Amino acid sequence: MIHEAVIWGDEKLVLTLLEDNRQLVSKKDSLGTTPLHYAVIGKHAGIVRALLKLGADVHAKNFYGWTPMHLASPEMMDLLTAHCARLQSQEDNRVAAAA
């Protein structure tokens, strides 16, 4: 159901499903495709942001070895790379604080 909601671009339903079960953020379908793959393909920016906020893996591979980053349009790539940069910055800050 999560995959269909993402494909349809139904952000409200996606958020409701994720609220009920956060593990759906990384659920793979029969092709190994995650909700983030479909959100990126569909250019559903709000859903992409929500999935990333909940920990979706931008490096998750489907059965073809493709990640969401492989499938991203320039606009979606900007969202994904900005997210990765934020994560790296947070990690750098944690390392610096621990030193």
pLDDT exceeds cutoff 80 at 35:
yes
**Total tally of structural domains belonging to the chain:** 1
pLDDT exceeds cutoff 70 at 91:
no
Provide the pLDDT for residue 87.
54
Which range of residues forms the domain containing residue 44? 2-98
Provide the pLDDT for residue 83.
74
Q: At a CB cut-off of 8 Å and minimum separation 6, what does 65 contact?
A: none
pLDDT, greater one: 58 or 9 = 9
Which residue in this structure is represented by tokens 């159901």?
A: 1
CATH code at position 25: 1.25.40.20
For residues 71 and 28, give the distance between their C-alpha atoms in angstroms, rounded to a whole number. Answer: 16
For residues 24 and 5, give the distance between their C-alpha atoms in angstroms, rounded to a whole number. Answer: 12
